[in-house]
Amino acid sequence: MCGIVGLFLKDKSLEPQLGAMLTSMLITMTDRGPDSAGIAIYKGETAGKTKLVVQSDTPQTDFAGLDSALKKQIEGGVKMKVKDTHAVLEIKASQGDAARAALKTLRPTLRIMSRGDSLEIYKEVGLPKNVADRFGLHKMTGTHGIGHTRMATESAVTTMGAHPFNTGDDQCLVHNGSLSNHNSLRRKLRREGVHIETENDTEVGAAYLTWRMMHGATLGEALQSSLDDLDGFFTFVVGTKDGFGVVRDPIACKPAVMAETDQYVAFGSEYRALVDLPGIEQARVWEPEPATVYFWSHNAAPTSTEKAA
């Protein structure tokens, strides 16, 4: 069992409250997943810039002087913002690969949580409320975001086992369920050259999507083919630069509730997570159909395939 929440804002005036709304939804889902929590927040882009979010178990030593050290190795400067065990590194858009290569030698134990122009991922082990407090999630602004509370079943309770998983630039995945063919799929993907760090089943799901997109599939197509290639139970929520998508396995025993008003589209593992959203009493509330890919995007009307991806 795990908890998923998601919020996609249509009404720009709610953007300053995105973090507060998502945090409250996340905390409501604590009893579905009390061991770790994470959030992916899309904060909008800064022209010409991209972001890496990195995590360290020893932030005092790892983050000390990291920005000035990195600045010497890449072009265009570095802006670093430290939040507890995470640091957001804002760099010139063209320097993403160079920065990752430089970080490997500068701080070999740093883990990359996310990369993208808009996306920032924060995740840690602990009660969702404590994780949210450590990163100051309730103060964050943004256009949309996804949160996850984890009750581990398939692998260890670690930061890297927490969700969301970064699947590609500005893309992330959260999962409620368990995949049963993740070992064979992990071996296959590793042979194909895909980097998979942990024994976690969801990381394999994320790597699968990355691999499909590396070979030219859109995110919508990758999700569609996941219905054939992933065995097990899943409700997936994926984040993209422009919106989010939802897909459930054909059995659909992992719960999912959606609500839509003129102001937002919201996702919750349970209706409970949605009850404090503005205008929820008048919202259209429904369950996403099994084996059906849904997308909401700032770019277009809801479609079954993501045009932007």
Partner 1 sequence: MQTIDLADSTLRALNKTLYAQSETTNQTQWEILNPKGAHAIACGLDAPIEVTVRGSTGYYCAGMNQKATVNITGSAGPGVAENMMSGKVVIDGDASQYAGATGHGGLLVIKGNASSRCGISMKGIDIVVHGNIGHMSAFMAQSGNLVVCGDAGDALGDSCYEARLFVRGKVKSLGTDCEQKEMRPEHIAILTELLAEAGSDARPEEFTRYGSARTLYNFDVDNAGAY
* Closest separation in Å from C-beta 30 to partner 1: 13
Residue among 2, 70, 204, 238 flagged as catalytic: 2
**Whole-Å CA distances, 192 to 7, 101, 188, 207, 210:** 34, 21, 6, 11, 12
| Positions that interact with partner 1 (CB under 8 A) | 250-253, 255, 257, 270-275, 285-287, 290
User: Which residues lie across from 258 on neighbouring strands?
Assistant: 267, 286
Instruction: Report the nearest approach of partner 1 to the CB of residue 275 (Å).
Output: 4
- Least distance CB 266 / partner 1 (angstroms): 13
User: Residue 286 is which amino acid?
Assistant: W
Q: Which is nearer to partner 1, 157 or 271 (CB)?
A: 271
CA distance linking residue 242 with residue 306, whole number of Å: 10
Judge whether 230 and 205 are in contact, CB under 8 Å: yes
What 3-state DSSP class applies to 139? helix
- Given the complex with partner 1, which of 213 and 275 has the nearer CB atom? 275
Question: Is the CB of 90 or the CB of 270 nearer to partner 1?
Answer: 270
By C-beta, is 68 or 286 nearer to partner 1? 286
Closer CB to partner 1, 24 or 218, in the complex? 24
Least distance in angstroms from the C-beta of 250 to partner 1: 8
> On the CB side of 226, how many CA atoms lie within 13 Å of its CA?
37
Is 253 one of the catalytic residues?
no
CA pair distance 231, 214, nearest whole angstrom: 21
Provide the residue type at 38 as one letter.
Answer: G
Contact 295, 243 (CB under 8 A): yes
CB 164 within 8 A of CB 239: yes
Q: Which residues contact 215 (CB under 8 A, 6 or more apart)?
A: none
CB of 186 to partner 1, least distance (A): 30
Closest by Cα among 284, 277, 286 to 246: 286
Catalytic residues: 2
